[in-house]
Structure 1
């Protein structure tokens, strides 16, 4: 039987190796600065942190920081920051039920370490996303002074960040994705089906932050066309790559959904 850490690594590997995921790195194409190999390297490098998350007194913020730190040792930059935000409490909690309790009990120390982890990434948020700039040295002082927990940070961000919203809404899209996979008989192809189901029904907040809400809505409509068979996945992928559209938040949620499905017995290898 696989451990939670192994299932988390497997989920990361299965997601990035799936084909075709419009706009995202997969086995057919890389980004200019980040390749499939960088994503796969991260799945290997992060194993010690995931193992600590299984049976550890380390706080969630420290584990997120260490996961980002250890996977930033290659030249591909941030690959899985959003996925770590979801996977680490899911690993520590043994699934969604336990994760719900863990995130509600996060501390100010968790928030401080999360901000430090954010500072290690190339991810940048709009000024309106958080009251405190993660790159401002005084930000962590403000967290301490205001007794702001990591759950508080996620709650504040949840209206503009769908990964943060998962902490607040009980991992609802993660649950939806896991159920989709478990109810599918398409094997590994089910991962693409699950991703496309999300893409056609949810507005990717990473795309909103990078390119605006109109582009994100157009992407969702194009995904619906693809599901209806009016355009191919390959054509949608070409459109995304041409316009620099990267639905990365939905990729992170897909990883979390794969993890939960694996923990609940989903057989990916058939």
Structure 2
């Protein structure tokens, strides 16, 4: 497997972010309906601003996240992509490694090598982005200098946060749930929606849980699971209407499955990296 250039990684990152915005993802920001006081243009600007930092080979993972968050905040004026950046920075570093190992094995090496410097930079990025529901923590508080490695800090949060859990499992959810629907067409609307619904129907969304509690997150998961079961029997127009109705219902309750969207972008990015590094 070949190592990807910075230009290739940056282009794949932009493509992944744009593909996610073009899909009808219930409760999230997309081109088919407004929501949560944000517009797709903000996410596009943030993606363009963050791409060079995510792809910069000279930077370790934590520094990539911090530089990308700072660039994104300056471009968009609010936090649009913290979770995306936390997920995509290790994937980018893995895809740029030399060697014969596959992407998953390279990624494990990247995650195992994360240190306190990575944690300190990531903490600063998280504090700057100030995601909804973020509070103080008794251990590995992002508002204080890091005392543990980034991997250890993520392990402390893994039980309550799906993004943190990816760092402790080698991105198992992304490779098991998100990448398979995207294998043939990583940026096509239908596969992207399938990947998003796979996360939304399987994992209680961490962003919803932080803001509204675990019971609400589980309720949304079961609603998504029920919807997902009905979609294969619907025609294209009926499918669109069903997704849009669920989208409106979630937004009416102020529920934004932001973590599911972040995992979806990372899955598209991973699928593009797999295709580029293997030539398939």
TM > 0.5 = yes
- 8 Å CA contact 1:77–1:121 kept in 2: the answer is yes
> 5 Å matches for 1:179-218?
179-182=180-183, 187-218=188-219
- TM-score, with structure 2 as normaliser: 0.84
- Please report how far the alpha carbon of residue 132 of structure 1 lies from its aligned counterpart in structure 2 after TM superposition: 4.5
Q: Pick from 121, 132, 149 the counterpart of residue 129 of structure 2.
A: 121
Q: Show structure 2 runs of 5+ residues with no match.
A: 96-102, 232-240
Q: Does 1:17 align with 2:22?
A: yes
1:101 aligned to 2:105? Answer: no
Identify which range, 149-158 or 124-133, moves more after superposition.
124-133
Q: 1:239 to 1:154 in 2, by over 3 A?
A: same
Whole-Å separation in 1 of the counterparts to 2:92 and 2:138: 27
| Matching residue of 1:51 | 55
Residues in 2 aligned to 1:6 and 1:130: alpha-carbon distance in whole angstroms:
39
Match of 2:44 in 1: 40
Task: Indicate the residue corresponding to 2:98 in structure 1.
Answer: none
Paired residue for 1:245? 255
1:155-179 Cα deviation digits (max 9, x unpaired):
1111111001001011011102112
Residue 267 of structure 2 is matched in structure 1 by: 257
Counterparts of residues 125-144 of structure 1 (less than 5 Å): 125=133, 127=135, 131-135=139-143, 139-140=144-145, 143=146
Match of 2:100 in 1: none
- 1:30: Cα distance to partner? 2.9
2: CA distance, partners of 1:93 / 1:186: 21
Q: CA deviation at 1:195?
A: 0.8
Deviation per CA, 1:1-26: give whole Å up to 9, x if none: 971221121111111221x2111000
The alignment of Structure 1 onto Structure 2 pairs a total of residues equal to: 254
Identify if the C-alpha distance between structure 1 residues 219 and 262 changes in structure 2 by more than 3 Å, giving closer, same or farther.
Answer: same
Mapped contact 1:181–1:261 kept (Cα < 8 A):
yes
Alignment check: 8 A CA contact 1:174 1:253 kept: yes
- Cα drift, residue 214 of structure 1: 1.3
Asked if structure 2 preserves the Cα contact closer than 8 Å seen for 1:34 and 1:76, the reply is no
What TM-score does the superposition give when structure 1 sets the normalisation length? 0.86
Q: Distance in 2 between matches of 1:129 and 1:172?
A: 26
Q: CA 1:130–1:85 in 2, change beyond 3 Å: closer, same or farther?
A: farther
Contact 1:125 1:209 in 2 (8 A): yes
Please state how far the C-alpha of 1:113 moved relative to its aligned partner. Answer: 1.0
- Residue 242 (structure 2) aligns with: 232
Superposition CA RMSD, Å: 2.3
Look up the match of 2:79.
78
